[in-house]
Structure 1
Amino acid sequence: MRKSLVRPKYSVKYGDHQAVVSLDGELLAGSIPKRQFKILVGWLALREEDVYRAWYKAVKSEHFDKVEPL
């Protein structure tokens, strides 16, 4: 039996826009303005360890701390 791999991702809301973005910065679904997307990708690069740590805890249904914004 082959295990299904879950790609790390998160949901983003900006105004009326909603999107799903992978932790490596790829837009997977939805939409977000280009400028805000670039800011988001920059934030992800700065907070990569914290974001991955939070994601791994979330998928195990564990409490995780909010990742510091810009």
Structure 2
Amino acid sequence: MPVISMFYGIIIRMQSEHGGKHHVPHIHVICGDDESVFSLEGEQLEGKIPAAKKKLVEAWIEIHKEDLQANWRLLDEGEQFFKIDPLK
């Protein structure tokens, strides 16, 4: 699963999942031993991460919503994804 961004000990991954279990465009967030799934609208769909890290991810999603949607379309069409700037 491609890594599209990393910041503050958080790894963001994305892959297109035709018929996947989440049924919406989403990202996978890894933070240490914790993992969570967020929709591109910022809703936590599954898993858990520390509350402070969750707030950072939610802010990053809001800032990069258009880039995330573009990456989802690219991956869905089998095209090359692009990296998204980390939260600074």
Identical columns (%): 35
Q: 2:52 aligns with which of 32, 35, 38?
A: 35
Total equivalences in the alignment: 66
Q: Which residue of 1 aligns with 2:78?
A: 61
Larger Rg, first or second structure (1 or 2): 1
For structure 1, the residue ranges without an aligned partner over 5 or more in a row are none
Equivalent runs, 1:1-70 vs 2, <5 Å: 6-70=23-87
* Runs of 4+ residues over 4 Å off in structure 1: none
Which structure shows the higher helix fraction? Answer: 1
Which structure shows the higher strand fraction? Answer: 2
With structure 2 as the length reference, what TM-score do the two structures score? 0.69
The structure whose RCO (Cα within 8 Å, separation 6+) is larger is 2
CA distance in 1, matches of 2:46, 2:33: 15
With structure 1 as the length reference, what TM-score do the two structures score? 0.85
CA RMSD of aligned residues (A): 1.3
